[in-house]
Chain A
Amino acid sequence: MSSYSLPEAVPAASSRRLSGNAVWALLLSLPLLWLLVFLIVPVLVVLIVSFFQPTLSGFERAFTLDNYRALLSSGPFFSTLLNTLLSALITTVVTFLVGFWVAYYLALVVPNLRTRFALFIIALAPFFTSFLIRAVAWIPMMGREGVLNSALLSLGITSQPLDFLLFSNFAVRVAMAQLYLLFMISPIFFSLSTIEPAVLEAARDMGARWWSILWEILLPLARPGIVIGAVFVFVLSMGDFATVRLIGGGASTSVGLSIQNFVTYMQFPQAAAAASILVLVTVLGVVLLLRWGAIGEEL
């Protein structure tokens, strides 16, 4: 959409027939329209449908709170929500613990800028393949007769294949951490890259140990990147259903998967209600993350 409109906006600005403010208004109207059409309207539609009465093959336009009542009074839905939240938190922490060091190495240890970006691209390479293929690839890896189990058996570490490696919460979390790692590495890498080497040099000259440089300089300065990465990973894993379905195999669960099931069985209002609850919880989580990030900057 924007690629069509830009060529019009640019000559208009250069001919000075429009004031600077008008150009900005024009430029901003595009993303605003985009948000309106693809975010706000769909969210409103989902919200409206969540209050409708479901029927066998659709819904009636009759207001009801039953969809929410049924979900909120259902123990399994709550445990699903908690499990989704737990998986998202674990994925976020794991991707941070792994991603920070990858970003650290790329941004601060590799001396040459060209090598640095070459390595960064290599780190991204697995993400050039489709999301689903990367998820499916875990099955021959972790299955009962998969690579990992075969290796463990032939090395004599275990005498029976380990079932928890696939179709389990464990498997889902491992797969999600791998799938979303990129979204943690990139923002941390970019915020670490902006740190002036002189700052680190000064700290070293003043006698700061590696540990205090990390704790007092790197982590605070990387905090915006960490928060952005955490928001990405948290939001993605809260909404995940494909990984949960493929790698969970029915033994793991998420709200996203519940929504997909409701849609499959054409119970759109329940799907919409579950989606609204999920969005609410996710937004709360993001707000908490951002608040934590802001406090960090004040210190």
Chain B
Amino acid sequence: MRHQKLSRRSFLRWSAGVLGASLLAACVGSEASEPTPPSGGGTQPTTAPGGTQAPAVITGVTLRVVGTGVTLIEPIRQQAEKDLGIKLEYDVKDGPSAQQKAATQPQSWDLYDQWFNSVKIVWASGNATGIDINRIKDWDKISPLPKEGKLTPNAKEGDGDAPYRILYVQPDNTLGSNPTERISMLPLTFNVDSFGYHSEMVDKEDATSWAILFNPKYKGKIGLYSDPSTGLMDLALGAQAAGLATFKNIGNMTRDEIDTIMRILIEKKKEGQFRAFWNSFDESVNLMASGEVVVESMWSPAVTALQVRGVPVVYASPKEGYRGWYGGMMLNKNASGKTLDACYEYLNWWLNGWAGAVVARQGYYFSIPENVKAHLPQADWDYWYEGKPAAEDLKDPFGEIVAKKGSVRDGGSLETRVSNIAVWNSVMDEHQYLVTKWNEFLAS
């Protein structure tokens, strides 16, 4: 490539020569989009200067993890600190903000705890490095879903960025499915998403298909997620199910296909089909709770949160399949010495299943189910993983009751749900084109 590839940060470093270092510091500090001004030095304060021998329990290291509230939760942080003897700083953001920080402020994090649909972007920023699977003790125990694409032989693989397609670092430093010893992101938590619906306002029959998003019966009562790499998937599945459009590969559309779906979406938006777009988990809960929408693309814990509040919301199991996502952690390329050792300790700790058991009680699955089973009471395991009726009232990690005795998880067992993935959250080849068009859709 002729032109040097630049992140915003390296651009600023470049401009420092022109503008003077003091001006630079000032203008970085004045940017409103940047939530925390980075330290000026650019060195990692937590990195020990010499590469000393790694002790069994690592002390005096602070790991900075940037990510989302899905997995960066207090009980996990406390337990990891206790078990590992390190200090953990969780920087909790929404998905896009976490991704932005990972891609533009490499000095501010050691591990990036997010989702596979941001792997391509963070990898392209050059701030991450491959994780050596030889240092991951339980690597062989990780289920075939993220490594090979399927949990069971006759499951659907799903279009788009299935984790295994962008898991392995290839010799030319690109990402692919050909197994190597270095991986882009360690696969940890995952789930399959659909939409929630208000069971008193919506016909059960209508809720069996993504087509409901375009059903005129619910005009003006549809809520959507405003992120293109997930929100568009839902809408594309809906448009296809409603017979408005067809896609060769719904997870990697061509420009023509993007134009087609955007034309349909803008037309429907102008007709008033969609009520609101949410950006944060809380917003999605509030939209449904306040009656603004009756059908909404949402995450599983949002449905649980509404059920706890007494709103009769059901998480749909659409016949076209779910939209899958996989979470995990990426490693900063600047991590070295004790910090690097601590990163691997933390990754290995995550795989032992204790944290997986915590997030299981929020409805998320884990890449090594057997390790979770060891840390999860039988009743919780049966409800969340096996799809069996709850033997007793079940609580979430924070002590709130999330499942009443006798209730059954929407969609059934792990195997049933994960075997029906239509598409994964994805960054398409035409991502930049899509972003421009998506912005027009939001603005229309």
A5 at the B interface (CB under 8 A): no
Contact with B8, one of A37, A58, A74 (Cβ below 8 angstroms): A58
A58, A79, A257, A262 — most chain B CB neighbours (10 Å): A58
A291 at the B interface (CB under 8 A): no
Q: Do B121 and A266 touch (CB < 8 A)?
A: yes
Q: Do B442 and A60 touch (CB < 8 A)?
A: no
Q: Do A143 and B432 touch (CB < 8 A)?
A: no
B54 at the A interface (CB under 8 A): no
11 A-B residue pairings within 8 Å (CB atoms): A41-B27, A42-B30, A54-B432, A55-B5, A58-B103, A61-B6, A145-B290, A163-B275, A258-B442, A262-B439, A264-B97
Whole-angstrom distance between the Cβ of B259 and the nearest chain A Cβ: 13
B374 at the A interface (CB under 8 A): no
A61 and B276 in contact (CB under 8 A), knowing A253-B444, A265-B228, A266-B99? no
What residues of B have a CB within 8 angstroms of the CB of A264 in the complex?
96-97, 100
Interchain residue pairs A-B with the least CB separation, the first 8: A250-B277, A249-B276, A76-B440, A57-B125, A58-B7, A253-B443, A265-B435, A57-B103
> Which residues of A approach B to under 8 Å, CB–CB?
36-38, 41-42, 45, 48-49, 52-62, 70, 74, 76-77, 79-80, 139-140, 143-146, 163, 166-167, 245, 249-251, 253, 257-258, 260-268, 270
B15 at the A interface (CB under 8 A): yes
Query: Which chain A residue lies CB-closest to B427?
Result: A56
Query: Which chain A residue lies CB-closest to B4?
Result: A61
Q: Do B228 and A143 touch (CB < 8 A)?
A: no
What residues of B have a CB within 8 angstroms of the CB of A145 in the complex?
290-291
Q: Do A144 and B291 touch (CB < 8 A)?
A: yes
Q: Do A144 and B443 touch (CB < 8 A)?
A: no
Q: How far is the CA of A98 from the CA of B197 in the complex (A)?
A: 43
Q: How far is the CA of A188 from the CA of B371 in the complex (A)?
A: 69
Query: Which chain B residue lies CB-closest to A149?
Result: B291
Q: How far is the CA of A9 from the CA of B444 in the complex (A)?
A: 54
Contacting A at CB under 8 A, from B286-304, are: 290-292
Q: Do A74 and B440 touch (CB < 8 A)?
A: yes
Contact with B274, one of A57, A163, A250 (Cβ below 8 angstroms): A250
A57 and B275 in contact (CB under 8 A), knowing A76-B440, A258-B439, A266-B99? no
Q: How far is the CA of A205 from the CA of B122 in the complex (A)?
A: 76
Q: Do A41 and B444 touch (CB < 8 A)?
A: no
Contact with A249, one of B19, B277, B439, B441 (Cβ below 8 angstroms): B277
What residues of B have a CB within 8 angstroms of the CB of A38 in the complex?
26-27, 30
Whole-angstrom distance between the Cβ of A77 and the nearest chain B Cβ: 7
Q: How far is the CA of A139 from the CA of B440 in the complex (A)?
A: 25
Q: How far is the CA of A80 from the CA of B1 in the complex (A)?
A: 36
Whole-angstrom distance between the Cβ of A33 and the nearest chain B Cβ: 10
Q: How far is the CA of A88 from the CA of B339 in the complex (A)?
A: 51
B97-141 interface mask toward A, CB cutoff 8 Å, 1 = contact, 0 = none?
101100110000000000000001110110000000000000000
Q: Do B100 and A37 touch (CB < 8 A)?
A: no
Whole-angstrom distance between the Cβ of B340 and the nearest chain A Cβ: 23
What residues of B have a CB within 8 angstroms of the CB of A42 in the complex?
27, 30-31
Q: How far is the CA of A253 from the CA of B270 in the complex (A)?
A: 13
Q: Do A253 and B442 touch (CB < 8 A)?
A: yes
B436 at the A interface (CB under 8 A): yes
What residues of B have a CB within 8 angstroms of the CB of A139 in the complex?
290
Contact with B11, one of A58, A79, A144, A263 (Cβ below 8 angstroms): A58
Q: Do A77 and B3 touch (CB < 8 A)?
A: no
Q: Do B121 and A166 touch (CB < 8 A)?
A: no
Q: How far is the CA of A74 from the CA of B290 in the complex (A)?
A: 35
Q: Do B19 and A58 touch (CB < 8 A)?
A: no
What residues of B have a CB within 8 angstroms of the CB of A250 in the complex?
224, 226, 274, 276-277, 442
Q: Do B11 and A49 touch (CB < 8 A)?
A: yes
What residues of B have a CB within 8 angstroms of the CB of A146 in the complex?
290
Query: Which chain A residue lies CB-closest to B229?
Result: A265
Q: How far is the CA of A80 from the CA of B27 in the complex (A)?
A: 28
Q: How far is the CA of A203 from the CA of B30 in the complex (A)?
A: 51
B398 at the A interface (CB under 8 A): no
B23, B224, B431 — most chain A CB neighbours (10 Å): B23
Q: Do B27 and A261 touch (CB < 8 A)?
A: no
Q: Do B431 and A45 touch (CB < 8 A)?
A: no
B33 at the A interface (CB under 8 A): yes
Q: How far is the CA of A18 from the CA of B103 in the complex (A)?
A: 51
Q: Do B96 and A265 touch (CB < 8 A)?
A: yes
B191-221 interface mask toward A, CB cutoff 8 Å, 1 = contact, 0 = none?
0000000000000000000000000000010
Q: How far is the CA of A41 from the CA of B27 in the complex (A)?
A: 7
Contact with B276, one of A74, A167, A265, A268 (Cβ below 8 angstroms): A167
What residues of A have a CB within 8 angstroms of the CB of B427 in the complex?
56
Q: Do A56 and B121 touch (CB < 8 A)?
A: yes
Whole-angstrom distance between the Cβ of B105 and the nearest chain A Cβ: 12
Q: How far is the CA of A241 from the CA of B310 in the complex (A)?
A: 33
What residues of A have a CB within 8 angstroms of the CB of B19 in the complex?
41
Whole-angstrom distance between the Cβ of A251 and the nearest chain B Cβ: 7
Q: How far is the CA of A253 from the CA of B439 in the complex (A)?
A: 10
B279 at the A interface (CB under 8 A): yes
Q: How far is the CA of A86 from the CA of B440 in the complex (A)?
A: 18
Q: Do A37 and B439 touch (CB < 8 A)?
A: no
What residues of B have a CB within 8 angstroms of the CB of A167 in the complex?
275-276, 292
Query: Which chain A residue lies CB-closest to B20?
Result: A41
Q: How far is the CA of A146 from the CA of B292 in the complex (A)?
A: 10
Whole-angstrom distance between the Cβ of B289 and the nearest chain A Cβ: 10
Query: Which chain B residue lies CB-closest to A75?
Result: B440
What residues of B have a CB within 8 angstroms of the CB of A45 in the complex?
15, 27
What residues of A have a CB within 8 angstroms of the CB of B275 in the complex?
163, 167, 249, 251
What residues of A have a CB within 8 angstroms of the CB of B436 in the complex?
70, 74, 267, 270
Apart from the given pairs A45-B27, A79-B443, 17 other A-B contacts in the complex at a CB distance below 8 Å: A37-B23, A42-B31, A56-B431, A57-B7, A57-B121, A58-B8, A59-B11, A60-B5, A77-B440, A79-B444, A80-B443, A143-B292, A146-B290, A253-B443, A262-B435, A266-B99, A266-B103
Whole-angstrom distance between the Cβ of B400 and the nearest chain A Cβ: 24
Q: How far is the CA of A70 from the CA of B275 in the complex (A)?
A: 28
Q: Do B27 and A143 touch (CB < 8 A)?
A: no
Q: How far is the CA of A264 from the CA of B104 in the complex (A)?
A: 12
What residues of A have a CB within 8 angstroms of the CB of B120 in the complex?
56
